[in-house]
């Protein structure tokens, strides 16, 4: 396809709003959608604030900042995606929910449009199978938060075309990202390695190897990680970590991917991390 000029982003949470910001700052027309009007309003405010911060720090000119704000539109209707060149989905990490969305998108967007998923673990081939355009479905996994993290993980499904891959890779590079490519296996590259480490940290806490503080300090100072694995789990969301571990277990069939009982218990108790105010650690809710 020709150069991507317009983007639809589904999901106005931290990931979706960050992706929308990236696209707007890099000169693309952007529709950001969420069914929750409060989430849309919050995203509008946060993106505008972050763009203004970039301008105040001289990382973006006033003119480019104003242009980026003009590039952004907000909606609660998928019908507004009819003319976009690519849709990037950043919703809940559920195969069933994603497939349902992709069926809807397939019936709305133009024939040439690419459908990309920001999934961090779910099979692109299976998501693509719900559509009539599997060759135009691809994984485009941004790291959190998208405007800051330098990596994008691209995953081709079984029938993803070269044109789809090349256009998606070019878009990620236009965003200033380093691209890595993964085969379509559960967890891909980053979470295939990261989530078992987080899960093992929970096992260490669960079995009394050490305190949460010492586990995190050990990994920060002993392996030069910027954040300990338990602290990172709280940042990601314990429910997200549990979901990915279940995908790894089901997709790869190895018991080593079984979620730690403590992780399961915390999620059952609503201890989801920063977003709920308590996870492994307790946070002051602002």
Would you list which residues are annotated within the binding site for NAD(+)? 11-16, 34, 93, 98, 120, 144, 275
Provide Rg for the chain, Cα atoms. 19
Known catalytic membership, residue 255: no
176 closest CA partner among 139, 144, 149 = 149
* Catalytically annotated residue among 123, 191, 199, 243: 191
Q: Which two tokens stand for residue 7?
A: 């983007």
**Number of H-type helices and E-type strands within the chain:** 11, 8
What's 258's DSSP letter?
P
153 labelled catalytic: yes
The answer to whether 44 is a known catalytic residue is no
Beta carbons of 14 and 144 less than 8 angstroms apart: yes
Catalytic residue among 71, 117, 123, 141: 141
Catalytic residue check, 191: yes
Catalytically annotated residue among 17, 117, 118, 153: 153
End-to-end CA distance of the chain: 45
The residue annotated as part of the active site, out of 17, 117, 118, 120, is: 120
CB 93 within 8 A of CB 121: yes
Residue 43 phi/psi, 5-degree rounding, is -65, -40
168 vs 154: CA distance, rounded Å: 8
Binding residues: 11-16, 34, 93, 98, 120, 144, 275
Active-site positions read 120, 141, 153, 191
């Amino acid at each position: 396809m020709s150069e991507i000029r317009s983007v639809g982003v589904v999901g106005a949470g931290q990931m979706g709003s960050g992706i929308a910001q990236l696209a707007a700052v890099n000169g693309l027309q952007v529709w950001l959608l969420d069914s929750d009007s409060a989430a849309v309003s919050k995203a509008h405010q946060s993106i505008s604030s972050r763009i203004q911060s970039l301008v105040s720090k001289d990382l973006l000119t006033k003119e480019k900042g104003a242009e980026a704000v003009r590039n952004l539109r907000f909606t609660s209707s998928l019908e507004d995606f009819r003319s976009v060149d690519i849709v990037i989905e950043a919703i809940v990490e559920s195969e069933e929910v994603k497939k349902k969305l992709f069926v809807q998108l397939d019936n709305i967007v133009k024939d040439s449009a690419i459908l990309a998923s920001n999934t961090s673990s779910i099979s692109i081939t299976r998501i693509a199978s719900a559509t009539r355009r599997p060759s135009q479905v691809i994984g485009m996994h941004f790291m959190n938060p998208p405007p800051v993290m330098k990596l994008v993980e691209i995953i081709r499904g079984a029938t993803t075309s070269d044109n789809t891959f090349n256009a998606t890779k070019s878009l990620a590079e236009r965003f200033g990202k380093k691209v890595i490519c993964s085969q379509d296996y559960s967890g891909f590259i980053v979470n295939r390695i990261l989530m078992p480490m987080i899960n093992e940290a929970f096992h260490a806490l669960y079995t009394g190897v050490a305190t949460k503080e010492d586990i995190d300090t050990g990994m920060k100072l002993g392996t030069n990680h910027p954040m300990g694995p338990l602290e990172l789990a709280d940042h990601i969301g314990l429910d997200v970590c549990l979901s990915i571990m279940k995908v790894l277990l089901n997709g790869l069939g190895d018991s080593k991917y079984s979620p730690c009982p403590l992780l399961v218990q915390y999620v059952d108790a609503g201890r989801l991390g920063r977003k709920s105010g308590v996870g492994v650690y307790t946070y002051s809710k602002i």
